A and B are shown apart, each in its own frame.
Chain A
């Protein structure tokens, strides 16, 4: 997994070992910032990965992903504007 702690929000977090490489998230991404890995994971699947920038936090990838625990999207909490 990416060791970069100072990741810029928003970003998707994909767990390579849980991904089965169906590619649905890659098709769903409006910014084309997801790609299929060259490598295989422990279950011999290619896995989806984030190219590292350009995510807008729309969560399209999350909702199209068929694996409930493979992918999550970290976004900035919306601040409630108080007047």
Chain B
């Protein structure tokens, strides 16, 4: 007798090892939670439509923050309410992807309301699964935008008072005022007959994505027995009566028959394309190459705003680019245009960089005393501090080589105090053990002054003079 098993879905993992814990086959959700039911419906639709391999699930902030423990497809977890923005980005970069934006009522209707409206209005190709349980479940049952008038929550102990906190937001109806959405439906997973209807709605929303037809919005009234009613039976009753009265179930819009598939141009992130987009065609640098032998370099540039510490950092970053290294340049400054302190971190590596942030530095380039106070302690043992000698005497940390540079004096010889930054870079080139070629520094100067070509020969002279000065010390 041939046997068929209903269950064991391919769209979900067979074991939730990402979750961990004693029982890795059980979810992290509370008993009776609607998320598990909805996860199964999405997974089933994904498999039935054959789109697992191109589906990207966006986990929100809320109880379903860990949806990526369960869905066997592409997964991204995003900041609170930002799912529509990230979904838009993915959709536009990966036109063939199917994007499911899974969000709760706090995430979608409160902190993420604006982005939800904008994405819906643009008709982005996203299937939005909006799980409405009427409260903030994860944080302990506070009032949400969808809390019913009179509903008791941990922040409305006498029930929601509409005089003080207004009325529940009806997201389907709000989205339905916009022109772009293709499909809008409100369903429920309170009991089996409604779950079967919800299954169809979710399938439809994903089908619209498979066919690249545009924005689909499915609101799902979902049980939260833990904070709403105490047990599953009472919660089913709550959903079927009070919730449905406020949020009537039904199809608000289905334009999927008439909607035409639309495709965007293939996204291209090649260097040539980006160079031309940002008018960087003069660079012509080679792509960064992986080089396990290259010793990573972390340099901090710090000084007064307006002294050019950020552009000094850029010069080094450009030298790294010229040499075909992986480079990041990460500025940090106060709101003032001049007079505040600013700094930037430059990383140069033989491998792809995962973060531009640095804690410890190999070299500190400081042009004022405050910078030494702040960052000298972060320099590694055996590291170097290159500072402007106008700072005067300073008690440097032990195990660090410190070089005071009369930057302005050297620059003045060539008629421009403003070339003091180039002096600092020249010294860095001479003593910094950067493993970057001297030629790359010269090229970096050329690129820095590409808009003012007259300044190039002078700055190269300054660079060489500073280099000679440093070598003679």
Contact = CB atoms under 8 A, between A and B. Distances in A.
Contacts of A21: 31
B256 to A, nearest CB: 24
Interface string A1-41: 00000000100000101101111100110000000000000
Contacts of A56: none
Interface string A48-83: 000000000101101111111111111111110000
B12 interface: yes
Contact of B32 (A22, A59, A60, A62): A22
Nearest to A30: B192
B9 A68 contact: yes
B23 A22 contact: no
Interface in B3-26: 3-9, 12, 14-16, 22-23, 25-26
Contacts of A66: 27, 29, 31-37
Contact of B40 (A15, A18, A68): A68
Given A17-B25, A42-B23, A76-B3, A65 B37 contact: yes
B11 to A, nearest CB: 9
Contacts of A15: 25
Contacts of B30: 20
A17 B37 contact: no
Sorting the interface of chain B by its residue count into under 10, 10 to 19, 20 to 34 or 35 or more gives 35 or more
Contacts of A69: 12, 14-16, 25-26
Nearest to B4: A77
B5 A27 contact: no
Interface string B227-262: 000011100100000000000000000000000000
A20 B26 contact: yes
A24 B33 CA distance: 10
A17 B26 CA distance: 8
A15 B25 CA distance: 10
Contacts of B32: 20, 22-24, 66
B31 A71 contact: no
Contact of A22 (B5, B8, B9, B232): B232
Contacts of A59: 6
Contact of B192 (A28, A57, A76, A79): A28
A45 B30 CA distance: 12
Contact of A28 (B40, B41, B191): B191
A58 B26 CA distance: 23
B37 A76 contact: no
A65 B192 CA distance: 10
A37 to B, nearest CB: 14
Nearest to A72: B7
B1 A9 contact: yes
A28 B23 CA distance: 25
A45 B31 CA distance: 9
Interface of B: 1-9, 12, 14-16, 22-23, 25-27, 29-37, 39-41, 43, 70, 191-192, 195-196, 199, 225, 231-233, 236
14 contacts: A17-B23, A18-B23, A22-B31, A22-B225, A67-B26, A68-B9, A68-B36, A69-B14, A70-B26, A71-B7, A72-B7, A74-B6, A77-B4, A78-B4
3 closest cross-chain pairs (CB), A and B:
A72-B7, A66-B36, A22-B32
Given A69-B14, A78-B4, 16 more contacts: A23-B231, A23-B233, A24-B32, A24-B236, A43-B26, A63-B40, A64-B37, A64-B191, A64-B195, A66-B36, A66-B37, A68-B9, A70-B26, A72-B8, A74-B4, A75-B6
